[in-house]
Chain A
Amino acid sequence: MQTQIFITFLVIIAAYTIAKWRKLSVEISMFLAAVAGGLFGAITNTPRLSQLARHLVEGSFTYLDVMLIFVTATIFMAIISESGGVNYVVKNVIKYFYNKRLIVLLLLMLITLVPGALTGAGSVSLLVVGAPVAMALGYLGIKRKKAAAILFIVAGLSAAAPPVNIWAMILSAGTAIPYVGFELPLGIPVLILGTFTVLVLGWKKEEKSDLESALKQMPDIPKGMKWWRVFIPFLVFFGLVAALRVWPFSLPIIGLPLQFVIAAVFALLLSPKKINILRLSRDTVKKLTPLLATMIAVGMLQQIMTATGVRGLISYTVISIPLVLLFISLAVIIPVSEGVFTYGGAAIIGIPLVWYLDSIGLHATMAIAGLSLIWPLGDGLPPTALIGRLSVMVSEYKKSYWSFLKSTWLPWVVITIVGILMVVFSSQLDFLVKWSM
């Protein structure tokens, strides 16, 4: 039986490799790997051939709620951006804090963190605020390579930041752990590591720049744009989140997607210029297609791996690795799994890993938080390198991709160490989870 499961696993890997070799996207490659694994498993009736389609469809539903959060949050952020809100905030940060380097760097970090934290996707941070923030970093005398490195690390951290962390959501859904209590375990390290990154990479002024020419070159702000037009939609969103926490039994549970929709309606009504919401939604969905397709393919692959026994085999392998070696290998396994499978890595390797860590007495929520700090680093690794490529693109860095990646080494190492230590000492850090609830 074990041999047959192992061969099924090899078939899945082979199908994925061949699909990638044929230059298909990661999403379609994962889908084909799931179909191939299911068909091979059907030879021994695990699953039955007649049940294969059901398993695939059932798997496609796994992350439907996460997809809806993705879409609604990104449309909300796209409205803020389209209305000129992002440019307004970045321009004012440069205007008022240009000579206060520490404050300006921290504010630019927070601006980059917000879209990713709300949507769970670092790529959304880069798509929405990446270009103006890269421009602002340039005006602060930071070279393009370092600006790209800052954007990559901070956008990655934004994806890990609360309230929406897709890796943590996938792991929670797959291990039957409620997605609650992540605010402080994720929020505190993200802020500390983000601050460390912007200071290490951005503190030194390497190129000449002056405030006047910087302000002249920045995009124009739409007439009538005021701070409250940007602020109120966020206030509505966070107000709804807070209200449901304060009065959990008096208010209906409306869910994050609907909270984003309500905030988006406010953003649309408060925009100083007219926004074509249909065109904006269509373009946003187009930009999000790879991410949405990844969620579907990951769900299908996860379902097929469960039905064929491959997931069990991986779990068995994980628990067979000596503990110290397992902790050390997280530094490689986690980013590489993200680079190959994107969010699929969390489902394939993360879920059995969390089961195991939980079974040996570690705190699952803290362990998930620690692991989900390391996963975004893999978004800089090929074949996908989603956030890495976008960071290079928005900062207009034209030289070698590897030289950009090398410049991220120090925050990369520190984030990895912090993530692993959070897993190792998860039981001692469980007070952070308690304080979040």
Chain B
Amino acid sequence: MPFIMVIYYIICAYLLAMLIWNFIREDKSVDKMLQYLLIMIPLILRLFRAK
């Protein structure tokens, strides 16, 4: 896998980690939690290289 692609996977993983962190801390708005989950979909699939 090219080095640049590896970095992009790391960027995706970092963003996913921040989203999970915010998701866990969010205890008021269900709407906001749904938004976090929505954003996580492509990131998780990208990291697992699922098509």
Contacts and interface: CB of A to CB of B under 8 A. Distances in A.
A410 interface: no
A385 B44 CA distance: 31
Contacts of B42: 57, 60-61, 64, 296
A407 B34 CA distance: 37
B22 A285 contact: yes
B4 interface: yes
Contacts of B7: 258, 261
Interface residues of A, number: 30
Interface in A15-60: 24-25, 27-28, 31, 57, 60
Given A25-B31, A289-B22, A290-B35, A296 B41 contact: yes
A257 interface: yes
A31 B34 CA distance: 10
A68 interface: yes
Nearest to A71: B15
Contacts of B38: 27-28, 31, 60, 293, 296-297
Interface string B1-17: 00010011001101100
A273 interface: no
A245 interface: no
A71 B43 CA distance: 13
A282 B11 CA distance: 14
Nearest to A299: B42
A68 B35 contact: no
Contacts of A285: 15, 18-19, 22
Contact of A257 (B11, B32, B34, B36): B11
A255 B8 CA distance: 10
A68 B15 contact: yes
A427 interface: no
A254 interface: yes
Judged by DSSP, the binding face of B is helix
A68 B12 contact: yes
A252 B45 CA distance: 26
Contacts of A292: 35, 39
A293 B26 CA distance: 16
A282 B31 contact: no
A31 B14 CA distance: 25
A260 to B, nearest CB: 10
Listed residue (B8, B15, B22, B34) with the most chain A CB atoms within 10 angstroms of its CB: B15
A74 to B, nearest CB: 11
A63 to B, nearest CB: 9
A28 B18 contact: no
Contacts of A68: 8, 11-12, 15
Nearest to A281: B18
A365 interface: no
B36 A289 contact: yes
Nearest to B15: A71
List 3 tightest A-B contacts by C-beta distance, closest first. Answer: A293-B35, A285-B18, A60-B42
29 contacts: A25-B31, A28-B31, A28-B34, A28-B35, A31-B34, A57-B45, A61-B42, A67-B15, A68-B11, A68-B15, A71-B11, A71-B15, A72-B11, A252-B4, A254-B4, A255-B4, A258-B7, A258-B8, A285-B18, A285-B22, A289-B32, A289-B35, A289-B36, A289-B39, A293-B35, A293-B38, A293-B39, A296-B39, A296-B41
Interface of B: 4, 7-8, 11-12, 14-15, 18-19, 21-22, 31-32, 34-36, 38-39, 41-43, 45-46
Interface of A: 24-25, 27-28, 31, 57, 60-61, 64, 67-68, 71-72, 252-255, 257-258, 261, 281-282, 285-286, 289-290, 292-293, 296-297
Given A282-B22, A286-B22, 4 more contacts: A27-B38, A261-B7, A293-B35, A296-B38
